[in-house]
Amino acid sequence: METLCWSNCKSYRESEYVIVGLDDESHSHAIRKGTSSAPDRIRKISKERDTYIENNLESLAYTNSGKPQSKIFDLGNISRQNIPFVYERIFSAGKIPITIGGDHSLTTEIIKELGKKRGPISLVYFDAHPDFLSSTRNFYGSVIYDSLPYINPKSSVMIGIRSPELEEIVNIKKYGISVFSPEDIQFYGFKQIINDILSKLGRNIYISFDMDCIDPSFAPGVSVPVPMGLNPITASILLKNITQCGIVGMDIMEVCPAFDIQDNTSHLASRMISELLSAVNNKVKNSDSIKIKN
Ligand SMILES: [Mn+2]
* pLDDT one-digit tens code per residue, 131-184: 999 999 999 999 999 999 999 999 999 999 999 999 999 999 999 999 999 999
Q: Residue range 258-287: average pLDDT?
A: 86
At residue 117 the predicted structure's pLDDT band, cuts being 50, 70 and 90, is very high
User: What is the whole-number distance in angstroms between the Cα of residue 228 and the centre of ligand 1?
Assistant: 16
Instruction: Look at residue 250 and give its three-state secondary structure.
Output: strand
User: What is the whole-number distance in angstroms between the Cα of residue 210 and the centre of ligand 1?
Assistant: 5
**To the nearest whole number, what is the mean pLDDT of the chain?**
94
User: What is the whole-number distance in angstroms between the Cα of residue 127 and the centre of ligand 1?
Assistant: 5
User: What is the whole-number distance in angstroms between the Cα of residue 100 and the centre of ligand 1?
Assistant: 13
pLDDT in tens, 209-245: 999 999 999 999 999 999 999 999 999 999 999 999 9
CA–CA gap between residue 101 and residue 113 (Å, rounded): 17
Which protein residues have a CB closer than 5 Å to ligand 1 (ion)?
A: 104, 127, 131, 210
Q: Are 159 and 194 in contact (CB under 8 A)?
A: no
Q: Strand 17-22 relative to strand 96-101: parallel, antiparallel, unpaired?
A: parallel
**Domains of the chain: residue spans and CATH:** 17-283 (3.40.800.10)
Segment (H or E) for 206? strand 205-210
Instruction: Look at residue 249 and give its three-state secondary structure.
Output: strand
Per-residue pLDDT at 65: 87
pLDDT in tens, 284-294: 444 444 455 44
At residue 67 the predicted structure's pLDDT band, cuts being 50, 70 and 90, is confident
User: What is the whole-number distance in angstroms between the Cα of residue 12 and the centre of ligand 1?
Assistant: 29
Q: Strand 205-210 relative to strand 122-126: parallel, antiparallel, unpaired?
A: parallel
User: What is the whole-number distance in angstroms between the Cα of residue 111 and the centre of ligand 1?
Assistant: 14
